[in-house]
Amino acid sequence: MRPRADRWADASAGRSPRGRWAERRLFAAARRRDPEVRKAVARVAGTPGHRLRERALGTVAAWWAETRDPLLRECAVRLGAVAAEPPARAVTLALAGRLAADLAPGEAGAVPGLLADPDPDVRARAEAFCAEASGAMLRALWALGPDPDSPLEAVLLANGEPPTSGPLDRLWERWLDRPDARVWAALSRWGRPAVGGPRARLTAVAVAAEPDVLREPRNRAALIDALALGDHPLCAIAEEKVAALRDQTLVDELCDRALDDGDLRTICAKHGFAPKDPMRRVVFFLLTGRPEQHRAMDPDGSLLSLAYASATDSVRERMRTAMLAAGDLDLVRVIVGDDRRARVESMSPGEVAYLAEQLAGRGAWDDLWSIVQDLPIATGVSLVRLFGEWAPRGDDDRRVFELYRATAPDALARAVEHLEGLRDRVTRQARYLFRGRVNDVSFAPDGPFLAAAGTNRVAGVFDLRTASLAERYDGFGASVGRVLHVGGGALVAAERTNRVDRPCRLLRCAGGEARALHAAPGSVTCLARAGDGGFVAGTRAGSLLVGAPGGSVESRPVAALGLGGGAWARSVAVHPGSGRIAVAARRLAVTAPGGGPAAAVTPPGPAVAWTSFADADTLVCAGRGGAVRRLRLCGDAFEETAQVGLDVHGLVGMVGLPRTGEVVVADDGGGLHVLDAGTLERTAVHRAADVQNRTGMTVSPGGDFLAVGNADGSTDLFDLRVHEVPRIVGRPVASLVPGHLAAVGSAMADGPVRRGGGVALRLLEACLEHRFRFDVELGDAVRLSAGEFDISL
């Protein structure tokens, strides 16, 4: 009798109730692992057209995956059996060679197990599958995050298609941290750099081959970063590419980096890399220890001297160290150069100390003494100790030298600190008392003279050296409201009335005679010097008068400048270099010397009463309410660069200081405010309790003195030079000019200043007198009388 399993197998082929009953019996018995039943199932699997053939094939495949029975394997291979459910499905797909056709990306998690399967055919077919995977399946395999050195990573690295950015970036980062030949073989074959990460640019130059790509700025920097990696394989790759490029821009950048990197210096020496610029080249040879090259290129050190002058402090320090090690360079020549005075001004304290010690070590006392005289006095006092018993031979030199030696450094430091307090000091040097109100004052451009205009129809010129009246002019038809000294012993005086329609004259006064230049209705409201002997004036009737040195006067309407009908000039200013004219008539306009339309007009805003030029394109203007603005002329428009609102009742005048660019404004309470040139911040304030009403202000052409007229008939003379002393006492003496001697002398004449800062002032004055002892300007220096003088006008 045939076995039951065979009978069930035969019966299960039918679709009748008996056939379905036989199917249940057969596969229930198969689950109990009955050998006879398995044979029957295998026979069903091998029977073409059997209703249960596919189920039988899956069952046979699953039995093999579970048992690894050789007979079942043979059957599965012969029949191409594949299990229906994981985990047997993946391994039987591999055994059947159907991974590429039937394994879905969602089943990629089974692949690492296939690569480690004991069956060699399964492993081989899994490896081949991974090596050929692409698209979604390749992405799924890389997404498994294979461990380094795992079979899966090994076969994926052999794949011809690179992974997506995430896995690729991780591979690059790993290779940069721990170089691996297998990983590099894959990365270089793929030729695709990392997409993100801090070192992505390194990977770009690792695989880039096109010269133009490597020459891009960011890739040049990455090549140099790669060269700095030392024994990393990427260093050798980058070195080969840099040597092949021979790009000078890249070489210059590499040499800059090589100054601070020994590995890069070695590469530069190996390939003969050096900067293109001769000065940079000779410094590079010096600092990278290539003495033969820099000696051959710069035998006298002239290039090094030029390079040293333009180098940063840190590079200079390295150059000094390298030159000292080289031993055969004239360090003084290199550091100081041919123009010793110019270089000494910019030398750092470290350079000065180094240079002084080198000169003292050589016994080059004359050279050291010459340099000490160029330095700030505090530095000179600290270096005098180096001279020992030596002293200069000349009497003048020895006098200054001994004063240096006698000055204690700590006492000098205290004096300099005291002088710092002068930054906010404005000193009134003299007061001149006249009969009647003083309407206006004006310094002469060519001597120590001050012109004054009086209410009692009189104008005069005073000699400020003797505090005496030099010239007097009367016979005016009205009060003299404005006066301007134009030099050469001449002044321009303007009549003033309270009526717009009453004629007023503009007169030239010289040699004891007054000559009318112009007559028209309305007072002259303002006067400004224009060139040698010329002037510009504004009238209450709305005219702008331009006077030539010869005496001719041209009248122009202020309204033509775009300031509106009825506009009249409250003040005018003329830039000495460009000749531009600024007119303040509630709004501000700037016009060319020859007239014509205005170059720029301020938009409606705070009323402008006074203006002055800081430079040809920059003006400062002020209004009576206390608003002060700094304006930049940009084409045909003004740009405001600074603004301040002074907390005062009102302003009554403003002038600009030509040397410093500062401005001085007067308030109606007798105060004078000095404002910074750039920020308009207040740097000094002078308040006079005995002044009720300022009437006019003027500054000397050099900016040394300020004269302010008052309604009570007095005129105050302020010495502005003391204000400059803190700025010059710490500067190199070589950078000072003869005019600074007058500032020091002015400070010495101020008792409180002299008592606190005398040590510094005496030494600085002696140094300046010695330096400029042959200068003709010293013989022409003017000392103005100080005190209070009652002068009849």
Query: Three-class SS of residue 782?
Result: coil
pLDDT of residue 750: 74
Answer yes or no: is 503 within a domain: yes
What does the H/E/C string look like for 217-229? HHHHHHHHHHHCC
Answer yes or no: is 126 within a domain: no
Answer yes or no: is 531 within a domain: yes
460 vs 499: CA distance, rounded Å:
25
How would you list the strands of the sheet with 553-557, edge to edge?
Answer: 524-530, 534-539, 543-547, 553-557
pLDDT of residue 53: 65
pLDDT of residue 426: 72
Whether residue 118 has a cis bond before it, omega within 30° of 0: no
Sign of CA dihedral 126, 132, 133, 138: positive
pLDDT of residue 569: 92
Containing domain of residue 672, as a range? 436-719
pLDDT of residue 561: 87
719 vs 84: CA distance, rounded Å:
108
414 vs 548: CA distance, rounded Å:
53
What are the mean pLDDT values of the chain's consecutive 10-residue runs (793 residues total)? Answer: 52 54 56 59 61 66 75 74 81 84 87 88 89 90 87 90 90 90 91 85 86 85 88 90 89 88 88 90 85 80 79 81 67 65 71 82 86 91 91 91 93 88 72 81 90 88 86 89 91 86 89 90 90 89 88 88 86 90 91 77 84 91 90 87 85 86 85 87 77 79 84 82 84 86 82 82 91 60 55 53
pTM: 0.58
Answer yes or no: is 644 within a domain: yes
Tally Cβ neighbours within 10 Å of residue 201.
19
Which of 478, 483, 516 has the alpha carbon at shortest distance from 497?
Answer: 478
Answer yes or no: is 565 within a domain: yes
Residue 40 identity (one-letter amino acid): A
Backbone φ and ψ of 255, nearest 5° = -65, -35
Answer yes or no: is 268 within a domain: no
Query: Three-class SS of residue 312?
Result: coil
Chain Cα centroid distance, residue 59? 79
Contact 764, 744 (CB under 8 A): yes
pLDDT of residue 79: 74
352-409 pLDDT, tens digit each: 888 888 788 878 898 889 889 989 999 999 999 999 889 998 888 999 999 999 999 9
112-149 pLDDT, tens digit each: 888 888 989 888 988 998 989 999 998 998 988 888 88
Structurally, how many domains does the chain consist of?
A: 1
What does the H/E/C string look like for 551-604? CCEEEEEHHHHCCCCCCCCCEEEECCCCCCEEEEEEEEEEECCCCCCCCEECCC
Answer yes or no: is 422 within a domain: no
Query: How distant, in Å, are the alpha carbons of 448, 580, 581 from that of 616?
Result: 27, 7, 10
Q: Which CATH number does the domain housing residue 482 bear?
A: 2.130.10.10
pLDDT of residue 68: 82
Answer yes or no: is 250 within a domain: no
480 vs 440: CA distance, rounded Å:
8
pLDDT of residue 46: 57
